[in-house]
Chains A and B, each alone.
Chain A
Amino acid sequence: MLIPKNNANQMRTRILVKIVEKFLQGRFADADRIPLELRPKGGEVSRCCIYKDRAILKYRCMASMGFAPEDETDELTSLKEYGEKALERTTHAVNKLSVITDACSGCIRSRYLVTDACRGCFAKPCQINCPKQAISIVNGRSNIDPDKCISCGRCQEVCPYHAIIRVPIPCEEACPVGAISKDESGKEHIDPEKCILCGKCLQSCPFGAVVEMSQIVDVLKLLADENKKVVAMLAPAVLGQFPGTINNLIGALKKLGFADVVEVAIGADITTKKEAAEFLEKMKNGEKLMTSSCCPAYYKAADIHIPEIKPFVSHTRTPMYYTAELLKQEQPDCVSVFVGPCLAKRFEAESDPNVDYVLTFEEIGAMFVASGINVADCEPEEFAKISCAQGRRFPVSGGVAGAIASLVGDKAEFKPTAINGLNKANIKLLKQYATKGSEFNMVEVMCCEGGCVAGPGCVALAKKSAIMVENYVKTAPDLNEQKD
């Protein structure tokens, strides 16, 4: 089922646009108007009242400026002051996701609920099968005592009328690693020790209570500084994210103030070569399995949640790593900004000295909107280096394994499978592969279902972007024919 981003996610884009607008108009002098402009008097209200809406918008603005809502020490600190602080800082905001406590609706704990469809039947299979005796009959209808219920779901399975439903909590349901959970007051919190920064909770909360700390202000400041050479490294999922061609996009980014634009698909080509070589080496040494390593959310999940799979994760670095390494060799004085679909890349960048900042397509989009740049009208420009088909297909599920397969050829037996989207079930599967073995020897893992084209920082629909990626692949040379 294809579901468009919810309104809460669209609000995030609007806020980013406002942040850029207020920066351009006067270095945040007017930033405190943002909540008022987005929730004007007499307009629509989405929560209990306009004032609560505005209070929450302020927290969302803080996050877009790179400050975590929970780090607020004085409620009276204005957005103008936060803006100034953001412009003063020399290292970017912390990388994390947070829950705006006031926006979290404190959804009831995952549990089972008896609906009107209950007929209060004679057989009462729900009551008989409940192992905790949590079900009693109240007013001729079955009733679950939440204090006794352990959410095992037996009652739901046995009711012939389907009268019992499970009420999930969207964010907890979405989190593959159990990093988001309730405190005593029923509000959600993210444990930074467990979080893999996949962004799934952020996409799933229908109240938009989860925010991530943006680096947009840090990059805006650098772009406005004439003495800085800021270079954009475009992730291959960029195809289809903005109307117009990729060549128009280079022109548009230069209008924003980027000095140069390079393709991360170039780095993906290098990853392909090294990972194929590593695979051959490993198989020669009799190893049974290798998994990809280019998705940082998976990498982090393997590191802290799936220790069984860790020894099998490839040691080859990611496309972003090789792209940034090349870039800094050629232009050592530049500031490098990875532009992609991914929130987890922010965490990867922390340990990569060659990557200075990470922005999402959405954040770049907000810059275009507030600067009045229409990508399709921008002067088309060419990349200095041409990427190959292999690297260009990295952002769709199956792309990484496919690229490696094309270089391995018949030099070894290649039995690939793809984990298309990390979730609780797939994590179990990975553990099984590691401990019990499998019929595969290469596992590609992408945390986002569909691949990076479905990443949390995307503008376009994954389907649209995937089509554009495939078209772009068709026009590219084959890595096998490339001379070094």
Chain B
Amino acid sequence: MEKVKVKICCGTSCFVMGAAQIQVLEFAPPADIADKIEIEEARCMNHCKDTTAKYNRGPFVMVNDELIEEANFEKVVNKIREILNQEK
């Protein structure tokens, strides 16, 4: 089975707004998803620049090709589980 790609934006804006904490996924992922994910640290994906509300929607995380806004650990883990459950 293909691994779920988790792209955590590590541009300054996202990093400060909470992406730094989502990196917990690298060190202590929930056991059920631990070997089913591939984590990538992305440079600024420019989402923080292109809307009027700007940084207020960050941090941004891509799970496969879905963009998660105002991401946090919980939202990202839920999305990963959702994708894995679909594949079953």
A contact residues vs B (CB 8 Å cutoff): 1-5, 7, 10, 13-14, 17, 37, 242-244, 252, 362, 365-366, 368-370, 372-376, 459-461, 463-464
Contact = CB atoms under 8 A, between A and B. Distances in A.
Nearest to A364: B16
A37 B12 contact: no
Contact of A461 (B16, B21, B72): B21
Interface string B33-50: 000000001011000010
B61 interface: no
Nearest 3 interchain pairs by C-beta: A365-B16, A4-B21, A2-B28
24 contacts: A2-B28, A4-B24, A4-B73, A13-B17, A13-B18, A17-B16, A17-B55, A17-B56, A37-B56, A242-B16, A243-B10, A243-B41, A252-B12, A362-B16, A365-B15, A369-B55, A370-B55, A375-B12, A376-B12, A460-B15, A460-B23, A461-B20, A461-B24, A464-B20
A365 B27 contact: no
B72 A369 contact: no
A7 B18 CA distance: 9
B11 A4 contact: no
B44 A10 contact: no
Q: Chain B binding site: helix, strand, loop or mixed by DSSP?
A: helix
Nearest to A38: B56
B4 interface: no
B17 A10 contact: yes
B11 A374 contact: yes
Interface class of chain A by DSSP:
helix
B27 A2 contact: yes
B24 A3 contact: yes
Contacts of A14: 17, 56
B22 interface: yes
A336 B63 CA distance: 43
> Quick one: which of B20, B41, B44, B72 has the most chain A CB within 10 A?
B20
Contacts of A17: 16-17, 55-56
B24 A243 contact: no
Contact of A460 (B11, B20, B43, B72): B20
A10 B18 contact: yes
Given A362-B16, A459-B15, A10 B23 contact: no
A374 B73 CA distance: 23
Contacts of B18: 5, 10, 13
A374 B44 contact: yes
Nearest to A365: B16
Contacts of B10: 243
A14 to B, nearest CB: 7
Contacts of A252: 12
Nearest to A248: B12
A3 B24 CA distance: 7
Nearest to A4: B21
A369 B17 CA distance: 8
Contacts of B49: 372
B23 to A, nearest CB: 6
Given A243-B41, A362-B16, A369-B13, 15 more contacts: A1-B28, A2-B27, A4-B21, A4-B72, A7-B72, A17-B16, A242-B12, A242-B15, A244-B12, A368-B16, A374-B13, A376-B12, A376-B44, A460-B20, A461-B21
